[in-house]
Copies of this chain bind each other. A is one copy, B any other.
Amino acid sequence: MTSHWPYANALEMLRAAKLRPTRQRLALAKLLFEKGDRHVTAEQLHDEAIAASIPVSVATIYNTLHQFVAARLLREVVVNPGRSYFDTNIADHHHFFFEESGRLMDIASDKIEVTNLPQPPHGTIRRVEVVIRVGSKG
């Protein structure tokens, strides 16, 4: 269980998000949130579910991930063209992205200081994302 998990269990979390606690949603919520902070792709989560004998289709994986994002239980991170990562850490924070392995690693927001933020010409700032791309050699 992660330090950011504010719910007693997956059931309570789904209730709070007003998502009907179905077999699949409960199982996926457990996979996602009972192991600390994670960054998973849809494919990884599907493989994990199948390995854990949870019968779930790819369509449901995508439905569920997007519902969790909409309910602010997950955050989508875009670092790779043609593949989305879903981050169970919804606190304000940043990322290392390791280009060879395709892995992400959290950076707590107080570890990086972003100052002098300019205002956009219109609209409101939704999020400030810092991605530090890391390669294996110079």
Which A positions have Cβ atoms within 8 angstroms of B? 76, 78-84, 96, 98-100, 105, 107, 111-118, 120-138
Chain A interface SS verdict (over half): strand
| Count of identical protomers in the assembly | 2
Q: A128–B123 contact, CB under 8 A? A: no
Q: A117–B132 contact, CB under 8 A? A: yes
Q: A135–B123 contact, CB under 8 A? A: yes
Chain B nearest CB: distance from A44 CB in Å?
15
Q: Which residue of A81, A98, A115 has the most chain B CB atoms within 10 A of its CB atom?
A: A81
CA distance A113 to B78 in the complex (A): 22
Q: Contact check: which of B78, B99, B111 meets A80 at CB < 8 Å? A: B78
Q: B134–A123 contact, CB under 8 A? A: yes
Q: A126–B130 contact, CB under 8 A? A: no
CA distance A129 to B78 in the complex (A): 12
Contacts of A124 in B (CB 8 A): 134-138
